[in-house]
Amino acid sequence: MNRKWLAGLMLSVAPFANGYDGSFNDAEIHYVDFFQRTDGIKYLVHKMDQSNIEHAFVMGLPIMKKWNAHDPVAPRYEFGDDSPVYYYSRTDEILYRALKDSPHQDRLFPFITGFNPTDMFAAEQVEQMIESDPGFWKGIGEILTRHDGLSALTLGEQARANHPALMKVYQVAAKHKMPVILHTNITSERETHPLYKHELVEALEENSKTNFIWAHAGTSSTLLRRQNLSFLIDEVSELLDDYDNLYILASWSLRDVILASPDSKKEWVALIKEYPDRFMIGSDVVGRFKITGEVLSRWDEVLDDLPNDVAENMAKNNMLKMVKR
């Protein structure tokens, strides 16, 4: 990032006088948790109505927590014990059955996520899902690749953004003009440089017709417990400049990075203003929807510092531009 350019842009960023008071769209709601349980569509829509959320990207979770026989009680949390998680394709069926006959299909955009991202058959399986009900599915993801402790618990081969199996999935996405929500951490817990950036870059370069929504901009709560990711803004700025097919799904862990200090907040606000069509927000709730609106409202501290049109783009408009309606 050009620091002189950034300094000038920061001076030009004035907060919207009355703050952002518009509605939201939620770009990341997981319909089920790691045990494939859910509060259900009716409750989800109820909480959306209460929280002034108009639309949402909705997806399952591609992994299921195992209850090992030697564990005396069932796990209540994916990291509650050392039992593994495994890929669970039925997650898409759970979402499909809940939403197919729902009167709320115009507000909820379902994404396919129930496949193993290291399986060379994955692209074929995704294609079959799309063709099973043309027009129903609106996107692919969230695909889980580098994800610190969760990756360590996942049975099988390590997923990565540039895995040959995923390269084929990205081509299916381009064919059907579907966005891909991709989780790939930018680094590991101990490394203070963008260790895994090249994997994302390869995916972006070789799939220029596929729109990628980078979940959390490569951050996670685990990473933030170990380091402050001060290098992240320069990396995100460079990637947005180099790849027109990259978008940022801002969720709670990225918010913590942005609001780490007054200077950090100013820099990120300037970056969002420079790329007003490339950021969207998501609650990243998992099967339980009570706090969905509360999580999104925490972005007010950022949105209030943006010009109103940019804030509205980030809060709602950019998400809708990603999908065919």
CATH at 204: 3.20.20.140
User: The domain containing residue 268 runs over which residues?
Assistant: 3-13+34-320
Residue 20 belongs to a domain: no
pLDDT mean by block of 10 residues, the chain; 325 residues: 47 56 96 97 98 98 93 84 92 98 96 98 99 98 94 93 99 99 96 96 99 97 90 98 98 94 97 98 98 96 96 98 91
For residue 136, the model assigns a pLDDT of 98
Q: 135 in a domain, yes or no? A: yes
Residue 18: predicted pLDDT = 59
pLDDT of residue 20: 86
pLDDT confidence of residue 297: 95
- How many alpha carbons fall within 13 Å on the CB side of residue 221? 6
> Could you tell me if 17 and 261 are in contact, meaning their C-beta atoms sit under 8 angstroms apart?
no
| Domains held by the chain: number | 1
pLDDT of residue 215: 98
What is the side-by-side order of every strand in the sheet holding 212-215? 279-281, 246-250, 212-215, 180-183, 139-144, 108-112, 53-59, 24-30, 285-286
Amino acid at 261: S
Residue 180 forms part of a structural domain: yes
Pairwise CA distance, residues 131 & 112, whole Å:
12
Question: Phi-psi region for residue 19, left (φ > 0), alpha (ψ -120 to 50) or beta?
Answer: left
Residue 29 within any structural domain of the chain? no
Helices (H), ranges, the chain: 3-12, 41-50, 90-99, 122-132, 148-153, 164-175, 197-206, 221-226, 232-242, 252-258, 262-274, 292-297, 300-303, 308-312, 318-320
**Sole residue written with tokens 């990565």:** 160
Does residue 236 lie within any of the structural domains? Answer: yes
**The pLDDT of residue 80:** 82
The answer to whether position 325 is within a domain reads: no
**pTM of the entire predicted model:** 0.93
Asked if the structure places residue 25 within a domain, the reply is no
**Has residue 274 been placed in a domain?**
yes
